[in-house]
Structure 1
Amino acid sequence: MSFWVELPVLIVVALGLAFLFQNFVARVYSIPSESMETTLHGCTGCYGDKILVDKVVFDFTEPAPGDVTVFRGPPAWLLREGPQARPANPVVWFFQQVGSVFGLSAPDERDFVKRIIAVGGQTVSCCDSENRVLVNGKPLTEPYLYWDDPGNQHQQSFPPVTVPPGTVWVMGDNRNNSCDSRCQGDGGSNGVVPVSDIIGKARFIVLPPSRWGGVSDINPQTGQAP
């Protein structure tokens, strides 16, 4: 078989393997907003980080505080965000879906990326006298926090919320520029994310090359990496 006959077969096989890998093992996602700065770069309409998300890790372990996760937006979150418009042109829609599988464009569904702060059974609140989030009455250590306005480093306060079993409380690292469990679904227990909606854990920044590296997963409750 000549090279030019083999080439299309090799391309199809390579694309098929990549499709299976991204759907069942790990997938590349684009960061669409600034809510996780500076851990993850992103902004509306700009070239944000592309991250590799491990889709199998939570088949063997439970999501833990400090994990940066990608998850499907729960109904309360989607209600706030509003419906996402689908391109009228079916050809554009098709290539958008194909591109999203390979991390070349945003997926059609509403996916979010945030850091887990507390898990089911824990009580989270903000803030203590030093402007720190508390979990079970103990202040968190959060070296990853970013303040886009250095003159305003005061976190939004909220009363104690006990996270229901089977859910997690998530927040953005860009603490004053992130709509997360504090405000989604009007906050409180409506802002939690079901563990079943978590797609996977962010492991690596794969693009751009200047940003290559692992994604910090320091546990804010212990101040240490797992």
Structure 2
Amino acid sequence: MGDTAHERAAVKRRPFWKELPLLVAVALVVAFLIKTFLFQAFSIPSLSMQNTLQRGDRVLVDKLTPWFGAEPERGEVVVFHDPSDWLDGEPVPERNAVQNFFSTIGLMPSADEKDLIKRVIAVGGDTVECRGTGPVEVNGKALDEPYIFPGNTPCGDKPFGPVTVPKGKLWVMGDHRQKSSDSRYHMDDPKTHGFVPVDEVVGRAVVVAWPLTRWSTLPVPDTFGQPGISGGTP
């Protein structure tokens, strides 16, 4: 008596345990592609972006937009490679095997990557300054910065400027102004003069993904959209 179609399908179907390695391999490839071209998780290593971001928060970084030629804009929170030993002397956290695995598939940043996270205050062509206790001014427009850590002044302990940002560069500052070694503190660096090259930007942080109790988006504050702030910058 001939086999039915149902019986033939049952014979051809692989056991799940045989398919599992293939499924895992496909999942890892997809995760790697997402990490490389779309999104990557980044762990907040310091207090420099409080209270917007807390140490230990996990944010998702949009890596896709720069592929289409878009450059960072004022007010965005961006992750960028260390432009000139800004992290020199900072302790490097030890990683276990599990953490190394998650960094490989993009759920955690690589331990070998020296990345920072700050807010873009000014872009190429802008003039930025902060006198006395502030406010920070971009192209003559005062910024209203409610995201600054409570008790800090807009300048922190480091007034500066006026400074004109070169084309292709960024002026970045942390939201916790008195705990952030940002552009203000590297103006004497002969390599960067405190500016971050756009080419060193990994992507824009768009979402606080972990812990779930702190889930939130990271929109551009309204103050960066005020009329005239763009000055001569396109």
TM-score between the two structures when normalised by the length of structure 1: 0.82
| Conserved 8 A contact 1:119-1:168 | yes
Q: Deviations over 1:24-75 (max 9, x none)?
A: 1110110011111111111xxxxx1101100011233221100100000112
Provide the residue aligned with 1:179 in structure 2: 181
**Equivalenced residues, count:** 209
Amino acid at match of 2:60: L
Trace 1:158-173 onto structure 2 (pairs within 5 A). Answer: 158-173=160-175
User: Which has the greater radius of gyration?
Assistant: 2
Residue 145 (structure 1) aligns with: 148
2:10 corresponds in structure 1 to none
1:107: how far off?
Answer: 2.9
Could you tell me whether the CA contact under 8 Å between 1:31 and 1:49 is conserved in 2?
yes
**Secondary structure of the residue that 1:190 maps to in structure 2?**
coil
Q: Work out whether residues 141 and 222 of structure 1, in 8 Å CA contact, stay in contact via their aligned partners in 2.
A: no
Partner residue, 1:57: 65
| Separation in 1, partners of 2:21, 2:147 | 46
* Residue 35 of structure 1: aligned partner: 48
The DSSP-based 3-state class of the residue aligned with 2:27 is helix
Alpha-carbon distance change, 185 to 111 in structure 1, aligned in 2, over 3 angstroms: farther
Could you tell me how far 1:211 is from its partner in structure 2? 0.9
TM-score, normalised on structure 2? 0.79
Superposed displacement of residue 157, structure 1: 0.7
Is there any run of 5+ residues in structure 1 with no aligned partner, and where? Answer: 43-47
Instruction: Please tell me whether residue 110 in structure 1 is matched to residue 104 in structure 2.
Output: no
Identity, % of aligned pairs?
43
Q: Please tell me whether the aligned partners of residues 141 and 223 of structure 1 are also in contact (alpha carbons under 8 angstroms).
A: no
- Shift of residue 95, structure 1, vs aligned partner: 6.3
- Given the superposition, is the C-alpha separation of residues 185 and 137 from structure 1 closer, same or farther in structure 2, using an over 3 Å criterion? closer
Q: Distance in 2 between matches of 1:93 and 1:114?
A: 27
Indicate the SS of the match to 1:134: strand
The residue number in structure 2 matching 1:11 is 24
CA-based RMSD:
2.6
Matches within 5 A, 1:58-77: 58-60=66-68, 61-75=70-84, 77=86
> Residue 217 of structure 1 corresponds to which residue in structure 2?
220
Residues 57 and 94 of structure 1: is their aligned pair in 2 closer, same or farther, counting only changes over 3 Å?
Answer: same
Runs of 4+ residues over 6 Å off in structure 1: 83-87, 92-95
Q: CA deviation at 1:115?
A: 0.4
Q: Which residue of 123, 126, 144 corresponds with 2:127? A: 123
Which residue, out of 195, 199, 206, partners 1:196? 199
